[in-house]
């Protein structure tokens, strides 16, 4: 089973008798309304608006678990739909009584359906989920939680061409040159997450999923991989090896 987001930022862990799931928040780099994906193949067995959970989906899986996704902003599937692992099922939101801002509450329940009167069957999703190479983990989450990594993934070759962004990116056409390379961050996306084209400040914002044309590759001294996008450089892969973009074939 995989994580339901491509930007793994755990803001509230599983704790028995307190919190029966994990909260996956926006983080600074992922932008608003990031997609939520099914953690495994399954069937949507529940689609309802709850007072606390807001828009909630339950997916029943063949391995004896049901996954629960709460506080969704939008949902892309209906009760009875068959979904495959990694299929987009909705977007992150803050529906329901929820003081913690936009996040996805993910519950994992051992059983054929979730019985909210028997919370003891909720397990800690972290123990069962695996991160893939296209999923980014925030430093804080990496430091505080053990995120399993699917190591069989093939090593990525970084070559020029089209890439799909796994996190949203802000690029600027006016910025300083460091070591002859323009280094720009990706942290402004939460400010203007929905813009996809240049604005009057010469900034351009790209949402998750945007396809960009990378015309040059540069690997810096820390092994971070940069790609040239128009007149700017964006990070394609962090120095720890976690990609921020995926080659489109
Ligand atoms: Zn929660």
pLDDT digits (tens, 9 = 90+) for 110-158: 999 999 999 999 999 999 999 887 788 888 888 888 888 765 555 678 9
Which residue has better confidence, 29 or 206? 206
Inform me whether the pLDDT recorded for 195 exceeds 50: no
Most confident region among 102-106, 196-200, 218-222 by mean pLDDT: 102-106
Q: How far is the CA of 199 from the centre of ligand 1 (A)?
A: 36
Q: How far is the CA of 100 from the centre of ligand 1 (A)?
A: 9
Predicted confidence band at 179 (pLDDT cuts at 50, 70, 90)? low
Q: How far is the CA of 220 from the centre of ligand 1 (A)?
A: 39
Sketch the domain layout of the chain as residue ranges.
Answer: 7-144, 161-247
Q: How far is the CA of 179 from the centre of ligand 1 (A)?
A: 44
Which residue has better confidence, 26 or 112? 112
Q: Helix (H, G, I), strand (E, B), or coil: what is residue 30? A: coil
Q: Are 42 and 60 in contact (CB under 8 A)?
A: yes
Q: How far is the CA of 55 from the centre of ligand 1 (A)?
A: 13
What does residue 140 show for φ and ψ, rounded to 5 degrees? -65, -40
Separation between Cα atoms, residue 37 and residue 194, nearest integer Å? 20
Indicate the range of 22-36, 38-52, 55-69, 96-110 predicted with least confidence.
Answer: 22-36
Q: Which of 212, 209, 167, 169 is nearest to 26 (CA)?
A: 167
Residue range 58-102, pLDDT digits in tens: 999 988 999 999 999 999 999 999 999 999 999 998 899 866 788
Q: How far is the CA of 72 from the centre of ligand 1 (A)?
A: 12
Q: How far is the CA of 3 from the centre of ligand 1 (A)?
A: 15
Separation between Cα atoms, residue 171 and residue 229, nearest integer Å? 9
Which residue has better confidence, 229 or 205? 229
Q: How far is the CA of 126 from the centre of ligand 1 (A)?
A: 14
Q: How far is the CA of 29 from the centre of ligand 1 (A)?
A: 21
Inform me whether the pLDDT recorded for 30 exceeds 60: no
Q: How far is the CA of 168 from the centre of ligand 1 (A)?
A: 24
Most confident region among 15-24, 32-41, 229-238 by mean pLDDT: 15-24
What region does 112 belong to: left with phi over 0, alpha with psi -120 to 50, or beta?
A: alpha
Q: How far is the CA of 11 from the centre of ligand 1 (A)?
A: 9
Cα–Cα distances (Å) from 16 to 21, 68, 124, 247, in that order, read: 9, 16, 9, 40
Inform me whether the pLDDT recorded for 193 exceeds 60: no
The whole-chain average pLDDT of the chain stands at 82
Q: How far is the CA of 2 from the centre of ligand 1 (A)?
A: 18
Q: How far is the CA of 77 from the centre of ligand 1 (A)?
A: 21
Q: What is the pLDDT of residue 46?
A: 98
Bridging pattern class, strands 65-72 and 42-50: unpaired
Query: How many residues does the structure list for the chain?
Result: 249
Separation between Cα atoms, residue 97 and residue 92, nearest integer Å? 15
Q: Helix (H, G, I), strand (E, B), or coil: what is residue 131? A: strand
Q: How far is the CA of 92 from the centre of ligand 1 (A)?
A: 12
Angle subtended at Cα 184 by Cα 148 and Cα 247, rounded to the nearest 5 degrees:
50
What region does 38 belong to: left with phi over 0, alpha with psi -120 to 50, or beta?
A: beta
Q: What is the pLDDT of residue 132?
A: 81
Indicate the range of 40-44, 130-134, 184-188 predicted with least confidence.
Answer: 184-188
Predicted confidence band at 31 (pLDDT cuts at 50, 70, 90)? low
**Out of 3.90.1660.10, 3.40.190.10, 2.70.70.10, 3.30.70.141, which CATH number does the structure's domain 7-144 have?**
2.70.70.10
Indicate the range of 42-46, 104-108, 122-126, 228-232 predicted with least confidence.
Answer: 228-232
Q: How far is the CA of 22 from the centre of ligand 1 (A)?
A: 6
Q: How far is the CA of 96 from the centre of ligand 1 (A)?
A: 11
Mean pLDDT value of segment 195-210: 60
């Amino acid at each position: 089973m995989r994580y339901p987001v491509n930007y793994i930022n755990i803001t509230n862990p599983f704790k028995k008798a307190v919190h029966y799931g994990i909260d996956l928040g926006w983080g600074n780099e992922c932008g608003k309304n990031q997609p939520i994906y099914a953690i495994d193949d399954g069937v949507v067995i529940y689609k309802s608006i709850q007072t606390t959970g807001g828009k909630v989906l339950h997916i029943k899986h063949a391995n004896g678990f049901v996954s629960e996704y709460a506080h969704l902003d939008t949902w892309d599937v209906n009760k009875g739909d068959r979904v495959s692992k990694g299929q987009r099922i909705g977007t992150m939101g803050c529906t329901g009584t929820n003081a913690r801002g936009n996040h996805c509450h993910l519950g994992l329940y051992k059983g054929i359906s979730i019985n909210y009167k028997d919370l003891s069957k909720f397990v800690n999703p972290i123990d069962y989920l695996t991160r893939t190479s296209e999923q980014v983990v925030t430093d804080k989450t990496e430091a505080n939680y053990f995120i399993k990594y699917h190591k069989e993934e093939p090593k990525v070759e970084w070559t020029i061409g089209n890439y799909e962004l796994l996190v949203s990116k802000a690029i600027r056409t006016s910025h300083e040159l460091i070591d002859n390379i323009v280094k720009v961050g990706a942290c402004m996306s939460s400010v203007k997450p929905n813009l996809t084209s240049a604005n009057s400040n010469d900034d351009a914002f790209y949402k998750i999923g945007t396809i960009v044309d990378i015309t040059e590759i540069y690997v810096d001294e820390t092994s971070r991989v940069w790609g040239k996008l128009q007149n700017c450089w964006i990070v394609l892969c962090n120095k720890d090896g976690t990609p921020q973009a995926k080659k489109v074939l």
